Amino acid sequence: MKVKINNKEYEFQEELSILDAVKKAHIIIPTLCYSEKLKPFGSCRLCSVEIKGERTLKPACVTKISNGMEIYTHSEKVRKVRSTIMELIIASHGISCNLNCLTCSKSASCEIKVIAEEIGIMEVRVPPISSRVPEDRSSYSIVREPQKCIVCDRCVRKCAEVQSVNILTIANRGPDTYVTTFLDKGMGNVDCVNCGQCVIECPTGALHEVYQTDQVWNVISDNSKYVIVQTAPAVRVAIAEEFGAEPGRIVTKQLVTGLRLLGFDKVFDTNFSADLTIMEEASEFLERFKNGGKLPLFTSCSPGWIKFIEHNYPEFLDNLSTCKSPQQMFGAIAKTYYADKIGIPREDMIVVSIMPCTAKKYERVRPEMKGDVDYVLTTRELAKMFKLAGIDLLNLPSEEYDEPLGITTGAAAIFGATGGVMEAALRTAYEVITGKTLERLDFESVRGIEGIKEAVIEIDGLKLNVAVVNGLGNARKMLDMIKNGEKDYHFIEFMACPGGCIGGGGQPIPTTKEILSKRMKAIYEIDKSFEIRKSHENPAIQALYKEFLGEPLSEKSHELLHTTYIARS
Amino acid sequence: MEKYYEKELLEELHDIQETYGFISEEDILRISEKRDIPKAHLYGVISFYSMFHLKPTGKYIIKVCDSVSCSLNHSADIVKVIKEHLGIGENETTRDKKFSLEVVECLGHCDEGPVMIINDTYYTHLTTNKVVQILDNLD
Ligand code: SF4
Ligand code: SF4
Ligand code: SF4
Ligand code: FES
Ligand code: FES
């Protein structure tokens, strides 16, 4: 197919959208409602282009190229129209002294600011229109500020198309159109699973996490409290992006140094409790397997996934592992075993988590969790704290995690990527079942970014059918297949976010496919760099069982490390 | 969202609106289940059409325009006097179920503002006195 773009001829094989064709010609057209992972919507009209012979401009994201088409992407007419559209968007955005870019949650990643510059907006001739829709602060995880919403529908589509949760909708029409939840009940009062995928999709500051940075500043400076921090596996491969580094940069040891500079009394690792999770979960699996317990076993470390199954598939609750997530296990051990060990009164021990996840903010307050964790910050919130403290993360010297809750293995490191929990569990299960040493540690078949992966793992003649699922849309597909009897497995790993925690709702923005695979590569690099790559060989975990827990699934383990679920339909 | 604007769905919503005067939360949940449409999207569809109501409404539904022209002609005063006279707020209904008040976008009589419509009747060039009279004369 021959197409002329700005008078230059190009040839394309497929029937691309004008937007995709133009991209291949290395021309940038501004877009707002378009997103690579979602169905095109065609509402913002910023991508409008001129086509020879057509009276009106056409939106490039929803118009296909055709043979002989002559497209003008930046003609004078296009530039004028685009600039008027942009002015209206800015006006509808209602920026004012109280509501401005300097104080906005997205000040560093705002797409409107970038586009305003691309289009060269110098003045806005229309007065700001402020929305009458009130803020939504009903959720423990996410805040909605409709004054900043430009109704691009991306959050609505992300929640529906990628997550299949369908929480958000566009309501009303005309200038009164706004984004909301069922009957305006608010995100905290509907079936929202707090995954935060809508937050990372939003081009503006209309959606962001519930901030806890102020509380953390306060508690750090409170000398009567012993404040420890844990860092999730996916944070160390992503936080550097907030400081302008290439995606995939590993800053584990700088992160430790930075947290010490902020004033935490001890810097520990969620990877420690990831190893602990493997001990409990692998034992739980083997017990169910031997004694005819409920299978397939579903993993339980992703709180977004947990809330999803509680709302939508309560009939499967017995399949869930009873293991708490690593974040909660960490808190439970820190406030008992560790507090006693160092002689700090349990009630003075404060646990802060740094998570790639917004759902962990909700998990923290679940009554079943009994206050294991006190504050949860996202990767983005921690970056803000570092900046506020003048900490130049990328150039900090390297330091090591504190002992003993900072001693970890390669198996724990991979929890951050989809497939990691499965692989770590297999490494341990293999050795427990066979009593032999596992030679090849890499289970390649469960790695990679695809939404659903399956593998048959042979252990001493025993065939284990396993699957790995990420993204809730894929989880829904998987559960429906099991329900209809189309699929049968022994063990399935589920993660709410596309790509697993490296693509979590609290991670740096943007999170594109390309960025995800770079973060994933970094995760497996970290695994390789460890001498010990199996959870059960972690000496600190071995000591914990010896000194305190006894053995996996002991009474004490059950009391501290396991939980229950609620049917919410 | 087009695919949910099917005729059948709209007819069902219409029937409920006609029969009960409004569409309740239970109605939405039931339809959501039956038609396998997410409840948030159903809410979106219902709110798109001004003929559907989510709360019981009064015998007379007063809609006052507050778009640009009307608001330059002091539509806010009209809204205020209605609220005071009837003792209700926006999107509320009087105890005796006689009146409901809504503030809406342009009613298409911009050069005759301020404008309101009560059920199917338009009232233009309103003044605060005139509004009170109109309301008092309805039974
Ligand atoms: S969303 Fe962007 S344009 Fe709007 S206030 Fe925030 S930074 Fe500024
Ligand atoms: S947090 Fe997740 S479930 Fe909730 S509205 Fe956003 S995308 Fe949907
Ligand atoms: S909340 Fe954000 S993503 Fe959703 S419609 Fe508004 S601007 Fe777009
Ligand atoms: S990006 Fe094409 S219409 Fe919004
Ligand atoms: S502005 Fe009120 S009728 Fe148009």
B100-117: per-residue pLDDT in tens? 999 988 888 999 989 999
What the block records as the tokens of B80 is: 């205020």
- Span A328-343, average pLDDT: 98
Task: Spell out which residues of chain A touch residue B40, defining contact as CB-CB under 8 Å.
Answer: 166-169, 181-182, 190
Give the whole-angstrom CA distance, residue A485 versus residue A377. Answer: 41
Give the whole-angstrom CA distance, residue A118 versus residue B27. Answer: 47
Give the whole-angstrom CA distance, residue A319 versus residue A281. Answer: 12
- Span A89-111, average pLDDT: 83
Domain at A142-210: CATH architecture: 2-Layer Sandwich (3.30)
pLDDT tens sequence across A409-420: 999 999 999 999
B104 backbone dihedrals φ, ψ, rounded to 5°: -130, 175
Ligand number nearest CA of A18 is 4
DSSP B84-115: HHHT--TT-B-TTS-EEEEEES--S-GGG-S-
Cα of A39 from ligand 3 centre, angstroms: 15
Give the whole-angstrom CA distance, residue A531 versus residue A551. Answer: 24
pLDDT tens sequence across A251-296: 999 999 999 999 999 999 999 999 999 999 999 999 999 999 999 9
Task: Check A145, A201, A241, A284 and give the catalytic one.
Answer: A284
Contact: A169, B43; criterion CB under 8 Å: yes
Q: Which CATH class is domain B60-136?
A: alpha beta
Q: Domain limits of chain B? A: 2-48, 60-136
Using the CB atoms, write b or e for B75-96: b if 16+ within 10 Å. beebbebbeeebebeeebbeee
Which 3-state string (H, E, C) describes A121-132? CCCCCCCCCCCC
Nearest to A93 by CA among A122, A121, A125, A131: A131
What the block records as the tokens of A322 is: 């009873």
Nearest to A62 by CA among A93, A17, A102: A17
Tell me which residue has tokens 């959720």. Answer: A139
Using the CB atoms, write b or e for B39-65: b if 16+ within 10 Å. bbbbbbbbbbeeebbbeebbebbbbbb
> What percentage of chain B has pLDDT greater than the value 70?
96
For this structure, is A159 an active site residue? Answer: no
Give pLDDT, residue B1: 43
Give pLDDT, residue A129: 75
Mean pLDDT for all residues in chain A: 96
Query: Has the ipTM of the complex gone over 0.85?
Result: yes
B13 backbone dihedrals φ, ψ, rounded to 5°: -60, -40
- Per DSSP, the three-state class of A493 is strand
Is the peptide bond prior to A498 cis by the omega test (within 30 degrees of 0)?
Answer: no
Contacts of A140 by beta carbon, 8 Å cutoff, 6+ apart: A188, A194, A210, A361, A362, A364, A365
Is the CB of residue B132 less than 8 Å from the CB of residue B85? yes
Give pLDDT, residue A98: 66
Cα dihedral sign, A356-A358-A359-A361 = positive
Contact: A175, B44; criterion CB under 8 Å: no
For this structure, is A198 an active site residue? Answer: no
Task: Spell out which residues of chain B touch residue A190, defining contact as CB-CB under 8 Å.
Answer: 40
Is the CB of residue A95 less than 8 Å from the CB of residue A58? no
Give the whole-angstrom CA distance, residue A435 versus residue A277. Answer: 20
Q: Which helix (H) or strand (E) holds A372?
A: none
A213 backbone dihedrals φ, ψ, rounded to 5°: -65, -40
DSSP chain B: -GGG--HHHHHHHHHHHHHHSS--HHHHHHHHHHHT--HHHHHHHHHH-TT--SS---SEEEEEE-SHHHHHTTHHHHHHHHHHHHT--TT-B-TTS-EEEEEES--S-GGG-S-EEETTEEE-S--HHHHHHHHHH--
Domain at A2-119: CATH architecture: Roll (3.10)
Q: Which atom of ligand 5 is nearest to the CA of B75?
A: 2
Task: Spell out which residues of chain A touch residue B38, defining contact as CB-CB under 8 Å.
Answer: 160, 166, 169
Q: Domain limits of chain A? A: 2-119, 142-210, 214-561
Identity at A382, one-letter amino acid code: L
Q: CA A181, A186, A190 angle in degrees (round to 5)?
A: 75
Nearest to A41 by CA among A175, A205, A180, A203: A203
CA distances from A165 to A156, A308, A432 (A): 10, 8, 38
Ligand 3 pocket check for A151: Cβ under 6 Å: yes
Q: Which of A171, A175, A190 sits opposite B44 (nearest CB)?
A: A171
Ligand 2 pocket check for A357: Cβ under 6 Å: no
Is the CB of residue A162 less than 8 Å from the CB of residue A168? no
Helix axes A326-333, A270-290, angle to 10 degrees: 110
Minimum mean pLDDT among A18-27, A88-97, A115-124, A518-527: which range?
A: A88-97
Identity at B38, one-letter amino acid code: P
Contact status of A435 with chain B (Cβ, < 8 Å): no
Ligand number nearest CA of A46 is 4
Ligand 1 pocket check for A152: Cβ under 6 Å: no
Is the CB of residue B116 less than 8 Å from the CB of residue B126? yes
Minimum mean pLDDT among A25-29, A130-134, A448-452, A470-474: which range?
A: A130-134
The pairing of beta strand B60-65 with beta strand A375-378: unpaired
- Span A527-536, average pLDDT: 97
pLDDT tens sequence across A381-399: 999 999 999 999 999 999 9
Give the whole-angstrom CA distance, residue A465 versus residue A434. Answer: 17
> What percentage of chain A has pLDDT greater than the value 70?
99
For this structure, is A525 an active site residue? Answer: no
- Span A59-81, average pLDDT: 96
Cα of A202 from ligand 3 centre, angstroms: 5
Work out the number of other CB atoms within 10 angstroms of the CB of residue A42.
17
Domain A214-561 has CATH 3.40.950.10: yes
For this structure, is A281 an active site residue? Answer: yes
Q: CA A390, A395, A399 angle in degrees (round to 5)?
A: 100
Rg of chain A taking only CA atoms, in angstroms: 25
* CA–CA min distance A181, chain B (Å): 6
Residue of A nearest to B2 (CA): A41
What the block records as the tokens of A239 is: 């936080």
Greater confidence, A540 or A439?
A: A540
Minimum mean pLDDT among A367-371, A446-450, B54-58: which range?
A: B54-58
Phi-psi region of A280 (alpha: psi -120 to 50; beta: other; left: phi over 0): alpha
Contact: B44, A167; criterion CB under 8 Å: no
For this structure, is A301 an active site residue? Answer: yes
Burial (CB count within 10 angstroms: exposed 0-12, middle 13-18, buried 19+), residue A325: buried
What the block records as the tokens of B62 is: 């007063």
Greater confidence, A100 or A56?
A: A56
Contacts of B29 by beta carbon, 8 Å cutoff, 6+ apart: B39
Q: Where are the beta strands (DSSP E) in A407-498?
A: 452-459, 462-470, 491-495
pLDDT for A226 beyond 90: yes
Q: Which of A166, A170, A183 sits opposite B38 (nearest CB)?
A: A166
- Per DSSP, the three-state class of A16 is coil
Contact status of A195 with chain B (Cβ, < 8 Å): no
What the block records as the tokens of A208 is: 């962001």
Helix axes A379-388, A213-220, angle to 10 degrees: 50
A418 backbone dihedrals φ, ψ, rounded to 5°: -60, 130
pTM: predicted TM-score of the whole model, two decimal places:
0.91
- Span A526-550, average pLDDT: 98
Nearest 10 degrees: CA dihedral of B37, B41, B44, B50? 0
Q: Which of A166, A174, A176 sits opposite B40 (nearest CB)?
A: A166
Using the CB atoms, write b or e for A515-530: b if 16+ within 10 Å. bbbbbbebbbebbeeb
In testing the pocket of ligand 2, which one of A198, A302, A358 has its CB within 8 Å of the most ligand atoms?
A198
Give pLDDT, residue A92: 83
